[in-house]
Structure 1
Amino acid sequence: MMKLLSNLHIFFIIGSLHMTNSQITQDSCTSSVLQNLNTQILFDTSSLGCSSVWSSEGFILRTTQAGPSLWSFVLSAPNTNSYVAIGFSPNGGMVGSTAIVGWIAGDSSAIMKRYFLGGKTPSQVVVDQGNLQIMNTTSSIISFSSRIYMAFQLVADQPTQQLVFAVCSNNNHAPTSPNFRLTAHRNQISIAFDYASGQGNQVSSPYSSLKRTHGILNAVGWGVLLPIGAMIARYLKHLGSYWFYAHSSIQLSGFIIGLSGIISGLVLNDRIDINVAKHKAIGLIVITLGCLQIIAVLIRPNMDSKVRKYWNWYHHNVGRVLILLAAFNVFYGVHLAHAGSEWNVTYGVFLGIIATIALSLELRLLTTEED
């Protein structure tokens, strides 16, 4: 009778082969690295199909059907001194999936455990739980040539095609006993995997449209319109009262658009399983400063008031802090979303144009004052 996984006991073998420099290479679907691990992986690997399921992170998945209700998996990933994971998901998301997670601990021991991802909070990520049936006697995790190889056999008529892969930041420590709590992952990807062909295709992450909307609204509202409105107030006062109406209209538009972006971000934060506490905190500071600016405008003193100069100092400097924080948070949000360099380049070009115009107008203003 097959002995199935209850608490995943792992057979650990650290690669201790005598390797020359030419042997220490990256794994790929064309490499013969598994031939070096045949005696350490506890099931037949000769018929495994191979797919580069996450090329940017170096994840290689090898799998095959080993029997009527038995599937063999070998996940290869770089050793980041933290965990790597493969999740079997009912819907393509992290929440609701059961994951196999492996890492090399600080004492050089290798650990692989099963987790049920019941929610986004640490208490809902439960170790040694989930609906996967894994063959205990053939499970192993191997450290070899700066990579981790997680080998296991899944008992199932047909595994789910929705697979989720995750990697933790190098700066985060690996899970430790007794509770083996997972820290937030640095990056993840969802793929639809075809077991017949052994190939996987990336699927759009959940709420990708909401993420894009959130980013665009915040970048346009806080990151573009507010700096333009501030420039109008500083450099176009020679246009009479028109500068005030233009400044007020643009700032109000930027505030409304930015507020919409922050609301969409709060909705997004409630729906996706990612830790964005710092990004969220900066966003809330930005919206607080924006509200304070509106309140300040409503109670602004008359031009001939003795406190007008203090109000000007407050209004101008709070506005500057708001704009700087907003610009930083746009770039930080792009980084968290792994949206790609094109987002940074696009926003950076807009910001560069605004900064160049502001610098030229500031030089002109200084020249005029000297004259």
Structure 2
Amino acid sequence: MKLTSFCQIILFIMLYSSSTFVTSQDSCSSKLQQLQLPIPFDTSSLLCSSVWPAHSFILRYAKASSDVWSFIFSFPLDPKAYAAIGFSKDGSMVGSSAIVGWMPSPGAGGMKYYYLGGKSKDEVIKDRSDLYIMNASFVPATGSLGYLIFQLKTTQPSSNLIFAIGPNGQFPDYPSYDLPKHIDQTSVTIDYSKVFGTQRLHVKSHGVLNILGWGILIIMGAIVARYFREWDPFWFYFHASVQFLGFVLGVIGVISGFVLNNQLHVDVTLHKALGIIIFVLACFQVMALLGRPKKESKVRKYWNLYHHNMGRILIILAVANIFYGIQLGKEGSGWNIGYGIVLAILLTMALTFETQLCSKD
């Protein structure tokens, strides 16, 4: 056998084995690309937890809005058994509301809600739940995986979750859909503060980028352009460099703001509108720089009038939107005081330089 043929066979075996492994179980490092149906909510910010390693149960979750939480619960379909996730007030199974999914054969999957009022068969009530469940579906993946996809309408779900797996080959059957007793179960506690921590980090990153870009560097560049013209051409290159850096950071901040808005789904219409206006004005400034006429040109004075006033409007709107953003983000007085001190220093510098400039005249 030729070496190339041998290598091809080995490569095929490796790829086949890898593919079989990926499709037979889920993990937090896996992407949600094996699903046969679209997911009815954004999955970009889902946190992931291996809630029951013994049975390869994986739970993904995120806060979709102020009162909606998204969940994706995945489990292997081999052995052929139902899988259940329940939300409990105190960590016990009795008194909890469960969502159960199963697929005894390809294309024959099902899902039901149950209220676990007690341990007897009559106390496990189907189609009843203390949860406000939305967009719920059971979705089989391309491999031997099942996904329970749902959203809960609540400010915060119970942190006490229970998971169960049913006996092999026994499923809730039509028409009663009685739930066979599970053969194994576990309980876990979910720390939802991680969700808020991730979102707070995104909010802070958005704020820092915009403060540095629009609220500090752009102002510094304007100060240099107005008061250091005798240092020609150093002032121009410094001004252009600082403004460009501020523009780049500001644009990244604007983009992060749109991403954050899609994640939080909160009403920040005015803040977003001001951010778009600031971005558009900044783009006009960049275009004006590219089309700057020569000093001896007759239209140079009109260009200066446009460029200077457009920059002043941009700075005023940026400062106002930064303070407004700090208020929306509920960052507290520390951010207001911190940026206020930086702004006061920049304003003091500008007033000092303006006084010196006027005394020369």
User: TM-score of the superposition, structure 2-length normalised?
Assistant: 0.49
Greater Rg, structure 1 or structure 2? 2
Greater share of residues in helix: 2
User: TM-score of the superposition, structure 1-length normalised?
Assistant: 0.48
